[in-house]
């Protein structure tokens, strides 16, 4: 416990100096900096090699902090009460007096926000008086990190500090919902889309127009392991790594289980770790067996589909 407290102190020191650091969240590790500081957020873009037109998510401790920067409505409050803190991000309208750096919003009047539930990061957020801008802590277009070691593998000594919070519980990024105009989901993720739509009253939104937002992060090439990925594979070719979710009787050195019992939460948690391992082991190709498209399986399929695009 004492160790955690002193690490949080260190983290705050870096953040107050406009440095970026890695933070643990329940979804994936984030590359965090003061969301009110142009200097800090510029450093995030530079380190991550992220195109400047791709906006970042601002991470808050609570709704009270958020209200200073964003407009909120009933849909937001319903979803916040049910799922936050947790793996859901909201695109909201910025208030005129918002202090959020224009760099993270790509100069638009909206911003994506989230309330991560990881206890260490919550402790950190509670102690600072600014939100944290944090994209996933990986070089742009690659696989998100789910442990301290993954972050080290991405940035090496270029990143001065990583707040170690063990491995991420969910292992896939947050669900992103746009709440400006008619609500719709921009990215599938940690919270299943059906649970979200259940809570939002369709009558209330009947007359609202769907405001279309196009952002690079929801584009095709993303979450890429850097080698070809073949989906819905019934078996694997020689020398092809084969990702499975159900135990096989046959033993094969090229089999990589993300679950042995078709447990989709377990599969989500192990997916990125396994993709990294396969690449480290020197494989040149990956096959993945069919993943049921239910619950978090929806988000797994979204990520592996993007990973399979050339």
Binding site residues, ligand TXA, CB under 6 A: 25, 27-28, 30, 54-57, 89, 91, 105, 110-112, 114, 116, 134-136, 173-174, 176, 186, 213, 215-218
SS3 state of residue 110: strand
Q: Least distance to ligand TXA from the beta carbon of 255, Å?
A: 29
Q: Among ligand TXA, Mg ion, none, what does residue 259 contact (CB within 5–8 Å per kind)?
A: none
Q: Least distance to ligand TXA from the beta carbon of 144, Å?
A: 6
Q: Among Mg ion, ligand TXA, none, what does residue 231 contact (CB within 5–8 Å per kind)?
A: none
Q: Least distance to ligand TXA from the beta carbon of 5, Å?
A: 22
Q: Among ligand TXA, Mg ion, none, what does residue 112 contact (CB within 5–8 Å per kind)?
A: ligand TXA
Which phi and psi (to 5°) does residue 230 adopt?
-115, 130
Question: 71: closest CA among 102, 53, 93?
Answer: 93
CA distances from 275 to 1, 19, 72, 285 (A): 32, 30, 38, 11
Task: Give the CA dihedral 182, 179, 307, 262, nearest 10 degrees.
Answer: -90
Q: Which residues bind Mg ion (CB under 5 A)?
A: 136
Q: Least distance to Mg ion from the beta carbon of 97, Å?
A: 29
Which phi and psi (to 5°) does residue 15 adopt?
-65, -40
Q: Least distance to ligand TXA from the beta carbon of 249, Å?
A: 37
Q: Among ligand TXA, Mg ion, none, what does residue 193 contact (CB within 5–8 Å per kind)?
A: none
Nearer to ligand TXA, 7 or 218 (CB): 218
Nearer to Mg ion, 7 or 54 (CB): 54
User: Residue 49 burial by CB count (10 A; 0-12/13-18/19+): exposed, middle or buried?
Assistant: exposed
Q: Among Mg ion, ligand TXA, none, what does residue 25 contact (CB within 5–8 Å per kind)?
A: ligand TXA
Report d(CA 145, CA 138) in Å as an integer. 6
Q: Least distance to ligand TXA from the beta carbon of 277, Å?
A: 21
Nearer to Mg ion, 47 or 63 (CB): 47
Q: Among Mg ion, ligand TXA, none, what does residue 54 contact (CB within 5–8 Å per kind)?
A: ligand TXA
Beta bridge partners of 246: 261
Cα 41 vs. chain centroid, distance in angstroms? 17
Residues 6+ apart with CB under 8 A from 33: 15, 18, 19, 20, 21, 40, 41, 43, 44, 132, 133, 134
Q: Among ligand TXA, Mg ion, none, what does residue 89 contact (CB within 5–8 Å per kind)?
A: ligand TXA
Residue nearest to Mg ion (CB): 136
Nearer to Mg ion, 230 or 306 (CB): 306
Q: Least distance to ligand TXA from the beta carbon of 188, Å?
A: 12
Report d(CA 101, CA 142) in Å as an integer. 25
Q: Least distance to ligand TXA from the beta carbon of 233, Å?
A: 27
Contact indicator for 117, 86 with CB cutoff of 8 Å: yes
Nearer to Mg ion, 40 or 200 (CB): 40
Question: 59: closest CA among 168, 161, 136, 172?
Answer: 136
Nearer to ligand TXA, 30 or 297 (CB): 30
Nearer to ligand TXA, 11 or 244 (CB): 11
From the CB of residue 38, how many other CB atoms can be counted at a distance below 10 Å?
13
Report d(CA 33, CA 276) in Å as an integer. 26
Nearer to ligand TXA, 159 or 186 (CB): 186
């Amino acid at each position: 416990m004492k160790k955690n407290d002193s690490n949080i102190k260190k983290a705050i020191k870096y953040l107050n100096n406009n440095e970026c650091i890695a933070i643990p969240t329940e979804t994936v590790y984030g590359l965090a900096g003061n969301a009110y500081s142009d200097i800090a957020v510029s450093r995030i873009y530079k380190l991550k090699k992220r195109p400047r037109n791709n906006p970042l998510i601002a991470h808050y401790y609570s709704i009270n902090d958020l209200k200073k920067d964003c407009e909120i409505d009933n849909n937001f409050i319903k979803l916040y009460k049910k799922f936050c803190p947790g793996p859901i991000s909201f695109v909201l309208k910025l208030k005129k007096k918002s202090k959020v750096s224009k760099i993270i919003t790509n100069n638009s009047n909206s911003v994506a926000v989230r309330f991560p539930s990881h206890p260490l990061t919550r402790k950190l957020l509670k102690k600072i008086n600014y939100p944290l801008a944090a994209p996933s802590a990986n070089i742009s277009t690659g696989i998100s990190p789910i442990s301290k070691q993954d972050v080290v593998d991405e940035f090496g000594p270029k990143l001065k500090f990583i707040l170690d919070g063990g491995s991420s519980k969910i292992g896939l990024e947050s669900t992103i919902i746009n709440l400006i105009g008619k609500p719709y989901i921009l990215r599938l993720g940690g919270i299943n889309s059906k649970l979200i739509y259940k809570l939002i009253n369709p009558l209330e939104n009947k007359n609202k127009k769907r405001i279309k937002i196009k952002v690079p992060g929801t584009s095709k090439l993303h979450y890429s392991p850097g080698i070809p990925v073949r989906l819905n594979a019934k078996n694997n070719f020689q020398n092809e790594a084969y990702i499975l979710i159900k135990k096989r009787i046959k033993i094969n050195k090229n089999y990589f289980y993300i679950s042995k019992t078709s447990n989709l939460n377990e599969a989500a948690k192990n997916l990125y770790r396994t993709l990294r391992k396969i690449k480290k082991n020197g494989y040149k190709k990956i096959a993945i067996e069919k993943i049921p498209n239910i619950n978090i399986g929806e988000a797994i399929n979204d990520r592996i589909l993007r990973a399979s695009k050339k």
